[in-house]
Structure 1
């Protein structure tokens, strides 16, 4: 390679990495859209199919059952098939699920379609950040991996806008079916991407891995990184699922589970799935409740972008610890609002509180879950290990989604928000004691520090 090529390759390569990350992150946009669109659609699906609260929760939670299956199967599949081919399959399933849910003649078919979408979401939530983390240079890895979370929030926001656009007509089939547009765009775009160099090296395809790294790093940096990855993989070739719970890997696994659990147990998806229902119960009309949820979704998206800009400057730990503390405070405040005498404008106060909650969550737990789980595990077992954290996320998400209305009926909305606040306190204490700073460090360096029990 000429000196000129060595000089120009990194800049051009980083542009290619950004393009590849954007295409892969469309999986995050679909994750957000298919997750968020049900909040508005549910207001119309319920009357259309004659659903009670229990059946509404089942329709919502069916997606999460699929996501659990996707997260469980995704780890072994992505390690066997590779990151790119797995994402191609995922985008095809997204397309089928969107079309089927839009055409559903009854709740049974709709539930099957949402299970399919859940499988795609669960797998993509594992593979997308993993793929981006493995192709990105360490200096911008945080921002690029966090693009996945940004796309999730954009997907949620767009789903709220679409819900509001079809609110007057009650067009829930259009709300669900429009997900086919980004899924087809993702499917086409994926065929232009290269495979992850780390996965290629794990398969013994050294020259292809070297070529992929040279395109994004330049020759000298590529050789250095190739040597680091090779050395780490030589030590890790015999890892199995059982080894994930060995003293060597247990700190990283526990940390991945703790971040995922805290992310869910503060109740974010109770807000995403049921915000219009909660606001409707506080006295808002259907359109007003959906419009308020648009503001909540916009806040989520804006503060995700802010966190994206800060994550490689401020670091993971300050954002995660500080933001989680604010989330907890707001949860207790939201619960207290319901103890006040009934006043006009309660819906507005709740909307403001939920926007503050989403702002703090987006800048902390929201952006951290996928980034931390993509950074802390060894290369050879990253699919299996990250799958445990991802599965934790989806299992708890399922229990959240299927219990929100029941908890409100049993313990009131105050009890709901305060339960989430208590879980948040427990998670914050664990993360404060165990979360290392991963900013600007290679994946192999992070692995070594966690293996040694050092934060």
Structure 2
């Protein structure tokens, strides 16, 4: 009977635990998406309650990004010190605390403080969640499982838009923000019952426990033995790793790729759409807040659908082809938006919706999920925690700069010019991917390290 049970396990190939771990960790993506996306609808009401200036509106959106920069900067240390699992639990707890502060805030300053604390939590989760998934997922589905995190980000954004739409008739922005407590508590409970990453257990010297966990994720003792031996070899080097090693000759190339992809992903303007979609629709002539938020829900739905398509394609087509298609579509859509706002047609709103949807669809099928997948794959284990932290800091910093300057640039240069600028960055990004970004499809993390 025991032999039959082992055979049936092998037939399953991929244990349910691997899927469960990826799914729970990806709730961190929901928090990421919800807490960055909810401001897009809520700001239309918050700005009136607190009589915000344009500068204060920009900071209300961007303060969460200041926290995210700090959270992601400390995330590498936390992931090595506490482990992936406990770091994710801590990040969700910060989201709960920040959310309570926001919903109770009597003025703009306490509102900013709550946004900052939430940002710190999602900054930590933004790279430790995909790191945990990449370290427990079998290589045959690793790309899809890590991309699941990005899918949950898009689901979180869509849920944020729908929650905003539900409460928009009453203008109850405090209830909009409080909804974040639900996925945060779910993430805390889920991570409490999941095991630690076997890679982190090896890093802490707990090899026997790492072996037991690895077997639970593979159903194959031989594969688990091989993986643990490889981790032990790399771990001997990792313990003395310094952040300066990211610029050593053996790592410099992937460091540049990670940081540049982080910057370019944001500099194409994606989060101006995520954070300001209802505002952009108001620029295009949508009559009121509810209509603008309703139009944004359509953008959110497209984002989710195309991210699902990307998950099915990433381990079949590969990373590079999807990135090239993605950037090409984004460039064309940005040029279309620039043209529409330049012409100022009577049907501006319809064309704006079309080009925003093709833009978000193009992003979702490639640049959105694949950036996070690449930074979970390309770095050697020795410096992976520190390297992912640096790339994530670069991503959040770029996000902050783009988001903080969007409304000011629109006021100064016009919406058409701003979208044209993002299109130029898209062309630079396309050239960068074409020339420098490697293909990692079908390779284990150990094989990528050797390569």
Task: State TM-score, norm by structure 1.
Answer: 0.96
Q: List per-residue Cα deviations over 1:183-239 (Å, max 9, x = no partner).
A: 111111111000000010111111011111111112111112222222333344432
Alignment partner, residue 300 of structure 1: 303
User: Offset of 1:14 from its aligned partner?
Assistant: 2.1
Aligned position for 1:215: 216
Q: 5+ residue gaps in structure 1?
A: 450-455
Q: Distance in 2 between matches of 1:12 and 1:167?
A: 47
Pairing partner for 2:267 from 265, 268, 283: 265
| Cα 1:312/1:91, change in 2 over 3 Å | same
Tell me the CA shift for residue 415 of structure 1. Answer: 1.1
Q: Aligned equivalents of 1:244 and 1:14: distance in 2?
A: 35
Quick check: 116-125 or 238-247, which moved more? Answer: 238-247
1:453 is aligned to none
Q: Does the CA contact (< 8 Å) of 1:316 and 1:439 recur in 2?
A: yes
- Out of 349, 371, 374, the position equivalent to 2:373 is 371
1:152-301 correspondence runs (5 A): 152-217=153-218, 218-285=220-287, 286-301=289-304
Residue 35 (structure 2) pairs with residue 7 (structure 1): no
Q: Which residue of 2 aligns with 1:48?
A: 49
Deviation at 1:5, TM superposition (A): 5.0
- Number of aligned residue pairs: give it: 448
Q: C-alpha distance in 1, partners of 2:159/2:323?
A: 26
Equivalent residue in structure 2 for 1:309, among 308, 312, 315: 312
Q: CA deviation at 1:336?
A: 1.0
Instruction: Name the counterpart of 2:92.
Output: 91
Distance 2:69 2:367 in 1: 20
Shift of 1:439: 1.0
Quote how far apart the aligned CAs of 1:345 are.
2.0
Give 1:9 shift: 3.9
Alignment check: 8 A CA contact 2:237 2:382 kept: no
Aligned-partner SS, 2:140:
helix
Are 1:75 and 2:102 counterparts?
no
1:133-177 Cα deviation digits (max 9, x unpaired): 000110010011111000000000010011111111111111111
Give deviations 1:12-51, integer Å, cap 9, x for gaps: 8621111111111111001100100100000000011000
Instruction: Identify which range, 278-287 or 171-180, moves more after superposition.
Output: 278-287
What's the counterpart of residue 333 of structure 2?
A: 330
Per mean C-alpha deviation after superposition, the further-off stretch among 4-13 and 389-398 is: 4-13
Aligned partner of 2:356 in structure 1 is 354
Look up the match of 2:101: 100
What CA deviation, in whole Å up to 9, does each residue of 1:280-310 have, x standing for no partner? 1221122111111000011011100110111
Contact 2:14–2:138, Cα closer than 8 Å, also in 1? no
Alignment check: 8 A CA contact 1:6 1:219 kept? no
User: In structure 2, how many angstroms separate the alpha carbons of the residues matched to 1:196 and 1:4?
Assistant: 28
Which residue does the alignment assign to 2:66?
65
Whether the 8 Å CA contact 1:233–1:379 is kept in 2: the answer is yes
Moved more, 416-425 or 67-76: 416-425
Q: Say which SS state the counterpart of residue 68 (structure 1) adopts.
A: helix
- Residue 12 and residue 195 in structure 1: after superposition, are their counterparts in 2 closer, same or farther (change >3 A)? farther
Q: What is the distance in 2 between the residues matched to 1:207 and 1:360?
A: 45
Partner Cα distance (1:87, 1:235) in 2:
25
Q: How far apart, in 1, do the equivalents of 2:184 and 2:236 lie?
A: 37
Give 1:97 shift: 1.3
1:45-73 residue CA offsets vs partner (Å, 9 max, x unmatched): 00110001110001111000000000101
Counterparts of 1:14 and 1:155 in 2: how far apart (Å)? 27
The CA deviation at 1:88 is 1.1
Whole-Å Cα distance in 1 between the matches of residues 26 and 99 of structure 2? 18
Listed one character per residue, the Cα deviations across residues 300-357 of structure 1 (whole Å, up to 9, x for unaligned) are 11100110111111111110122111111211121111121x3322111101100000
Superposed CA RMSD: 1.4
Measure, in 2, the Cα distance between the counterparts of 1:251 and 1:448: 14
The answer for the alignment partner of 1:390 in structure 2 is 392
Indicate if the aligned counterparts of 1:139 and 1:440 stay in contact, CA closer than 8 A: yes
Q: CA deviation at 1:425?
A: 1.3
Unaligned runs of 5+ in 2: none
Question: For 2:425, which of 417, 423, 426 is the aligned residue?
Answer: 423
Shift of 1:377: 0.9
Structure 2 Cα separation of the partners of residues 20 and 392 of structure 1: 27
Deviations 1:224-276 (A, max 9, x none): 22222223333444321011111111011111112111110100000011111
TM-score normalised over the length of structure 2: 0.97
